[in-house]
Structure 1
Amino acid sequence: MSTSRATKLAIGRQLRHCPSVYSLGVRRNLLDYSPAELEMIRTASKIYYPTILLAEALTALGKDIFPSVQTIRYAGDKILQTRLFQLLGLPMPYTKIYYGQRQKENILDDFAFPFVSKIPRKSSKGRGVFLVHNQAQLHDYLRQAQPAYIQEYLPIYRDMRVVILGRKVVHAYWRKARGDDFRTNVTQGGSIMLAPLPKEALELAMHAARQCRFDQVGFDICEYQNRFYIFEANMAFGMDGFKAAGLDFRIILRDLVESDVL
């Protein structure tokens, strides 16, 4: 596409194979773009994958971006997500965040062993998630976690990943934990199952996406004692579930953009 005619613009490389989108590429400084490229950014009708570097500024200018600034802002931050879920009244396991030594001394007043502890920021793929059975394990966790993120343990062996683009569920599948691990992440030995998900899980994911204003997200959801709970939202979800189903995420994304759904 000619740069002079580009109305859809991408900063990131995710849409480089999409005919209707001109991809600029990510640069650390705005002045690394040429004057002509800066003008494209200013005048594009829509900007895809602006990255955290530009999302806030483009939103302030009133630009239409994808993913939304809300989606980008909450990526990889379990604390921000938890506050939002709790404020919205979305169902999630009982969770509290403890700042400072004095607050951390209250953990065992609020939770009984075992419970789940997490590194709340910049951890993914099941890393930084621990099942705490005793004081020694809690002490080890608290040495590396600031603040402490503590969550009720639900004894399940599988959960669900529901992936949403825009306002559409594009894929949903089960994740089953390995026998000796409570985590269902594929990177931690979990396996993917393609059996249909309960409609309640899909409806919860769509409801949460609308309420949170997330437009590219994979929600981790479980069913426990006939109730459905959200664990977290993943904006950088893996492709294993798509590959297992014979789906190509890039083609799904391209088709939604080409048809103006996104």
Structure 2
Amino acid sequence: MKCVSFDAFRTLHLPGVRYIKPEHMFRERAVIEAAEWVLFPEYWQVNALVFGLKKRIFPGLSAYLIGHDKVQMTRAFQLVAPDHIPWTLIEPNTPDHARQVWDQMPLPFVAKIPKSSMGQGVFLIENRSDWATYLACTPVIYAQERLPIDRDLRLVVVGGKLVAGFWRCQGHDGFHNNLSQGGTVDADTPLPQVAVDLVLRVSQQLEIDHAGFDVAMVDGYPYLLEFNRLFGNRGLPGLSQQVSAAILDYLQEQTERDDDPIDPTPPLPAAI
């Protein structure tokens, strides 16, 4: 299985993968065309690789398109799992829409910048000053009810299978659960099966083959918050190796399935 990667870190544990710097894509066209898989391209490369060179990429196209920003992601969630999404308002950032959202959303609430990760671009709105600060730095209004939680779940899915999961507990600010923002890991408390089942169903329905899903639990009921196509591997010891092993298994399964020709001629009926 010939693979090229545009992300050396995320394919470090995969055997026989040739790394190419993203900016060298055009120079290395022949190598890319000869590869069976192109791994972890940057977003700006995806259209050229998929539609120009007809390459199979991993993560798949759905993970890139749906995971590109929180607006696209939330709208997809609202279609496939509408009962498992916190109340969310998405509007253009205009004075009229800002006033409408402020009037509708009870305080305190959460506001997010659509293209952000690692807990950056997530605001706790408790007053008009917070709201003005948020509005000044986002192109789109994304406002969401604040759920009564002090932790959430990170569930890592590769190829439709759960690889690992853990709880992320709030950090010192009493708001963010992200590890990069001071959150801590609880790997001992069991993972709620209802959350695992929801994430596996949604990931398969949306064809998200590589993601870290964040799920909030409220009175035993799961709410999808978001997923990260490029998630961190800090949560559990050996997580990077586990993810790499799952990626390798998935790529091999997909390659064998795609390369296995289907016999178009049905078997003859048995003689009577």
Give the TM-score normalised by structure 1. 0.86
2-structure distance, mates of 1:129, 1:59: 32
| Amino acid across the alignment from 1:86 | Q
Residues 66-92 of structure 1 deviation map (CA, whole Å, 9 limit, x = unaligned): 110221233351111111111223411
Task: Using the TM superposition, give the Cα deviation of residue 169 of structure 1 relative to its aligned residue in structure 2, in angstroms.
Answer: 0.9
**Aligned-pair CA distance for 1:107:** 1.0
Match status 1:18 vs 2:10? no
Question: Which residue is 2:148 aligned to?
Answer: 155
Q: Secondary structure at the match of 2:238?
A: coil
**8 Å Cα contact 1:56/1:69 also seen in 2:** no
Q: What residue in structure 1 maps to residue 38 of structure 2?
A: 47
Contact 2:158 2:243 in 1 (8 A): no
Matched, 1:31 2:36: no
Partner of residue 117 from structure 2, selected from 105, 121, 124: 124
Tell me: CA distance 1:63–1:139, structure 2 relative to 1, closer, same or farther (3 Å). same
1:214 paired residue among 188, 197, 208 = 208
Could you tell me how far apart the structure 1 residues matched to 2:159 and 2:152 are? 23
- Using the alignment, how far apart are the partners of 1:145 and 1:87 within structure 2? 25
Distance in 2 (alpha carbons) for counterparts of 1:84 and 1:163:
19
> RMSD of the alignment, in Å?
2.1
CA–CA distance in 1 between the matches of 2:38 and 2:24? 17
200-209 or 59-68, larger mean C-alpha shift: 59-68
Q: Could you say which residue in structure 2 is the equivalent of 1:198? A: 192
SS of residue paired to 2:77: helix
Residue 85 (structure 1) aligned to one of 72, 77, 85: 77
C-alpha distance in 1 between matches for 2:247 and 2:75: 31
Distance 2:249 2:85 in 1: 36
Segments of 5+ residues of structure 2 without an aligned counterpart are 255-272
Q: Is the 8 A contact 1:15 1:254 kept in 2?
A: no
Percent identity among equivalent residues?
Answer: 31
For residue 147 of structure 2, what is the amino acid of its counterpart?
Answer: L
Pairing partner for 2:178 from 185, 199, 220: 185
Given residue 98 of structure 2, which amino acid in structure 1 is its aligned partner? K
Distance 1:8 1:141, change over 3 A: closer
CA contact (8 A) 1:93 1:229 kept: yes
Deviation of residue 29 (structure 1)?
Answer: 5.2
Q: Larger Cα Rg: Structure 1 or Structure 2?
A: 2
The aligned counterpart of 2:3 is 8
Question: CA separation of 1:252/1:218 partners in 2, compared to 1, >3 Å: closer, same or farther?
Answer: closer
Specify the code of the residue in structure 2 equivalent to 1:47: V
Which residue does 1:65 correspond to in 2?
57
Partner of 1:3: none
| Residues 51 and 72 in structure 1, CA contact (< 8 A), matched pair in contact too | no
Deviation of the 1:62 alpha carbon: 3.6
Size of the aligned set, in residue pairs, is 248
CA contact (8 A) 1:16 1:23 kept: no
Against the structure 1 CA distance between its residues 187 and 223, is the aligned structure 2 distance closer, same or farther, given a 3 Å change threshold?
same
1:247 corresponds to which residue?
Answer: 238
Which AA in structure 1 matches 2:158?
L
Offset, 1:7: 2.7
Counterpart pick for 2:107 among 105, 108, 113: 113
Range 107-116 or range 192-201, more displaced: 107-116
Moved over 4 A (4+): none
Comparing 196-205 with 130-139, greater Cα deviation is found at 130-139
- Structure 1 SS opposite 2:136: helix
**Cα 1:248–1:227, aligned 2, differ >3 Å: closer, same or farther?**
closer
More displaced 10-residue stretch of structure 1: 54-63 or 112-121: 54-63
Map of 1:225 onto structure 2: 219
Q: Which runs of 5+ in 1 are unaligned?
A: 1-5
Q: Which amino acid aligns with 1:207?
A: R
- TM superposition shift of 1:102: 1.7
- Deviation of the 1:109 alpha carbon: 2.9
